């Protein structure tokens, strides 16, 4: 009974650490293959296309008659764009792109999920860190004045002083005075 339960808990821990990354990766891969098939079959509207023109300076560059299919993507201001086709005309590289809404949404949901799981960006985390930082500074500064007192007494004293809105701060020495 203990061994299967241990294996089950280990698998659950493994899924929590690696499984969600695998799930999001598989979802992105599925979206990529769907978009690739859509672009290969020319199932998109010309209204959805965005043209990006990049000046190039290459000697002996010839103009291309037609557009050439290209694969790839880039991110701009949080949105993902997928290359559709390209063409070189005179001194300009013309890239035709399409907004890749599915991947943009997946990236945003992945980032939001990991933000919630890891509790980053939380205001309570910031306040907790500041609080314990003040406790640490207060404990260390009290230990300078009372070297024989045990550490847990300092923490109790700091907590009592915190409850009475006593503000601990470490200020630099006044300007103009030298030690």
- Over the stretch 150-178, which tens digit does the pLDDT of each residue have? 554 545 555 555 555 544 444 555 565 55
pLDDT digits (tens, 9 = 90+) for 91-131: 889 999 999 999 999 989 888 888 887 766 555 555 555 65
The pLDDT value given to residue 38: 92
Q: CA-to-CA distance for 7 and 17, rounded, in angstroms?
A: 15
Buried b (16+ CB within 10 A) or exposed e, 135-165: beebbeebeeeeeeeeeeebeebbeeeeeee
Q: Are residues 99 and 128 in the same domain?
A: no
136 in any annotated domain: yes
7 in any annotated domain: yes
Q: Are residues 59 and 100 in the same domain?
A: yes
Q: Are residues 151 and 81 in the same domain?
A: no
Spell out the residues 6+ positions from residue 102 whose beta carbon is closer than 8 angstroms to its own: 31, 34, 35
118 in any annotated domain: no
Q: Are residues 54 and 136 in the same domain?
A: no
176 in any annotated domain: no
Cβ count within 10 A of residue 84 = 20
Q: Are residues 101 and 128 in the same domain?
A: no
Q: Helix or strand or coil: residue 98?
A: strand
112 in any annotated domain: no
Q: Are residues 94 and 129 in the same domain?
A: no
The pLDDT value given to residue 114: 80
More confident residue, 6 or 58: 6
169 in any annotated domain: no
Mean pLDDT within 75-91:
90
116 in any annotated domain: no
Q: CA-to-CA distance for 152 and 160, rounded, in angstroms?
A: 12
98 in any annotated domain: yes
Q: Which residues pair with 85 in a beta bridge?
A: 69, 96
| Average pLDDT of the chain to the nearest whole number | 76
Q: Are residues 88 and 36 in the same domain?
A: yes
Whether residue 134 is predicted with pLDDT greater than 70 in this model: the reply is: no
Q: Are residues 9 and 56 in the same domain?
A: yes
Instruction: Give the domain extent around 39.
Output: 2-105
Q: Are residues 52 and 140 in the same domain?
A: no
Cβ count within 10 A of residue 114 = 13
Mean pLDDT within 55-81:
88
Percent of the chain surpassing pLDDT 70: 66
Q: Are residues 132 and 80 in the same domain?
A: no
Whether residue 71 is predicted with pLDDT greater than 70 in this model: the reply is: yes
| H or E element at residue 151 | helix 151-163
Q: Are residues 144 and 73 in the same domain?
A: no
Q: Number of folded domains in the chain?
A: 2
């Amino acid at each position: 009974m203990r061994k299967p339960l241990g294996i089950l808990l280990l698998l659950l821990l493994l899924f929590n650490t690696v499984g969600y990354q695998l799930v999001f990766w598989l979802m992105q891969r599925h979206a990529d293959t769907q978009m690739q098939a859509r672009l290969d079959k020319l199932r998109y509207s010309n209204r959805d296309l965005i043209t990006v023109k990049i000046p190039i300076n290459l000697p002996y560059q010839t103009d291309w008659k037609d557009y050439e299919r290209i694969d790839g993507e880039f991110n701009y201001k949080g949105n993902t764009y997928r290359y559709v086709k390209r063409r070189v005309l005179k001194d300009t590289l013309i890239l035709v792109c399409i907004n890749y809404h599915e991947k943009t949404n997946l990236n945003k949901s992945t980032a939001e999920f990991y933000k919630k799981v890891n509790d980053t960006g939380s205001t309570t985390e910031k306040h907790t860190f500041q609080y314990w930082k003040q406790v640490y500074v207060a404990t260390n500064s009290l230990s300078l004045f009372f070297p024989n007192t045990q550490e847990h007494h300092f923490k109790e004293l700091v907590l009592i002083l915190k409850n009475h809105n006593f503000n601990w701060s470490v200020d630099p020495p006044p300007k103009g005075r030298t030690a």
